[in-house]
Structure 1
Amino acid sequence: MTSYFDRTEFLRGVRHGLPFLLVVGPFALLFGVVATEAGLPVVQTLAFSVVVIAGAAQFTALQLMAENAPTVVVIASALTVNLRLAMYSASITPYFGALPFWRRAFVAYGLVDQSYALAIIEFEKRSGLSLGQKFSYFLGSITPVFPAWYAATLVGALVGQAIPPSFALDFAVPITFLAMIGPMLRTKAHVLAAVVSVITALIFAFLPWNLGLMMAAAAGMITGAEVERQAEKARDSK
């Protein structure tokens, strides 16, 4: 019988996941505060974080809901922000595709920016890991992060305005993504896709309901795919 738990790899994942607490805590606190200020009850705020567990999409949806945007726009915007998770899933499938269904479902639930960044770098660096060791590492990487996300969301929802503005919790959002994206910009396609998406988002920032963000995501993906296609074409011609 295949063992899907390796204590050494689990603890290694926990160690690697711990630094993310520095940004996950403030990020979740901020969401809890903003959600309750927008009128969501504490229970709904916590459920939002437990069920969706995708901070950027949660903030996007919440902002649009507060602006009374059409439901279809709220859903489309949240899905656009989370579209990167579909790409994460495709990227990480070769490492977890052989897992039993319920374990794959658990990985799908736990696949967030932090866990993906840690897993993909670790698995590429240590190609000899077994399936059980990979699953254990992934499980360890989310063990410190997820409970902290839930707890900080609840604290933010309960405390709300009692958190001084001087704490500047919103710093956690950009720092989190910069810390994760920076090391992953390893190819020309990655860099150009990032540059094009940023420029597009800035150009169309005037559009309502975050529609510029959807355009930026599409432009970035098209750019990355085209650069990869041209690179592959050049390799084949040699």
Structure 2
Amino acid sequence: MQKETGDAGPRDGNDPSAARRIEKDAFQEGWRDSASTIPAVFAWGVVSGMAMVKSGMSIMQSLGMSLLVYAGSAQFAVLPLLAVGAPLLVVFFTAMIVNLRFVIFSAAVAPHFEHLPWYRRVWYGFFNGDISMAFFPRRFPPHTFGQPAGKIGYFAAICYPGWLSWQLGATVGILLASQIPESWNIGFAGTLALIAIMIPMTNNVAALAGVIVSGTVAVLALHFPYRLGLLAAMVLGMAAALTVDKFLPVTDKEGEAA
């Protein structure tokens, strides 16, 4: 059973050494939980870097986009638009629509960090993404709101290594875009890695419903303009998972949690 680092008592909150120990333990736990995602993130970073260079961007432009945007789906969505010289507003709104899921991610995580000053919340918000949402809400469910112990350490462990892996992968892809042959199928390797990560996470009926619905919608809406199919798949998948979870008998939930 995992240690409930989010349930530290009042004395620990007033003891700096105890607080540091809790965050350190939480960091180690977060690393153990999320380390398997690093190869997939690196592979997708390589694909992203190659795509930027092959779309006509310079090395410096590609590096700048990777560092500042840090949103693979948005990068892939806007690269064709940049290549054909689409208006800046079209590029901006396309990226915004594709990234609307981050609003949901932020809303889910924000109550856990409301005790922090705004500039720290902005900092952590930059790193909040798909991987963090796969692990953080499971480790710290809503009933731990108001219990900050361990959350910063755990969040850092599942976000910072992923960011570093993405940037390293993107840099490799940018610098070696002309040297990596298409026959290597780097993109397909990244997809396989992500599937291998997703399967163990689909550990209950609600999650399975979300995967089935979102996957079906993503395929059916593949040709929607501005990658709106991605947004539709995300929203409907989450709605399906929440609906199933709401009507799932309590005994079934307890059995799955056990």
TM-score relative to the length of structure 2: 0.72
Inter-CA distance 12–194: structure 2 relative to 1 (3 Å threshold): closer
Q: Which amino acid aligns with 2:99?
A: N
- Return the offset for 1:109: 1.1
Matched ranges for 1:199-238 at <5 A = 199-217=216-234, 220=237, 227=243
The answer for the alignment partner of 2:111 in structure 1 is 94
1:33 aligns with 2:66: no
Post-superposition shift, 1:51?
1.3
- 1:16-71, CA deviations, whole angstroms, 9 ceiling, x for partnerless residues? 33222211111111111110111111122122121121111211121332344444
Contact 2:100 2:231 in 1 (8 A): no
Structure 1 length as normaliser, TM-score?
A: 0.77
How far did 1:133 drift?
1.2
Tell me whether 1:142 sits opposite 2:142 in the alignment. Answer: no
State the partner residue of 2:31: 14
1:42–1:154: 8 Å Cα contact kept in structure 2?
Answer: no
Unaligned stretches of 5+ in structure 2? 1-13, 249-258
Alignment of 1:105 with 2:105, yes or no, is: no
Whether the 8 Å CA contact 1:88–1:116 is kept in 2: the answer is yes
**Greater mean alpha carbon deviation, residues 32-41 or residues 67-76:** 67-76
What residue number does 1:235 align with? none
- Matched to 1:163, the amino acid is I
Q: How does 1:1-238 map to 2 (within 5 A)?
A: 5=20, 6-124=23-141, 130-175=147-192, 178=195, 182=199, 194-217=211-234, 220=237, 227=243
Which whole-Å deviations, capped at 9, do the CAs of 1:62-97 have from their partners, x for residues lacking one?
Answer: 133234444444333322222221111111122222
- Asked if the contact 2:40–2:194 (Cα under 8 Å) also holds between the matched residues in 1, the reply is no
Aligned-pair Cα RMSD in Å: 3.6
SS in 1 for 2:57: coil
State the shift of 1:200 in Å: 3.8
Task: Tell me which moved more, 8-17 or 91-100.
Answer: 8-17
- C-alpha change, 1:231 and 1:74, in structure 2 (3 Å) is farther
Structure 1 distance, partners of 2:198, 2:28, is 24
Identity %: 29
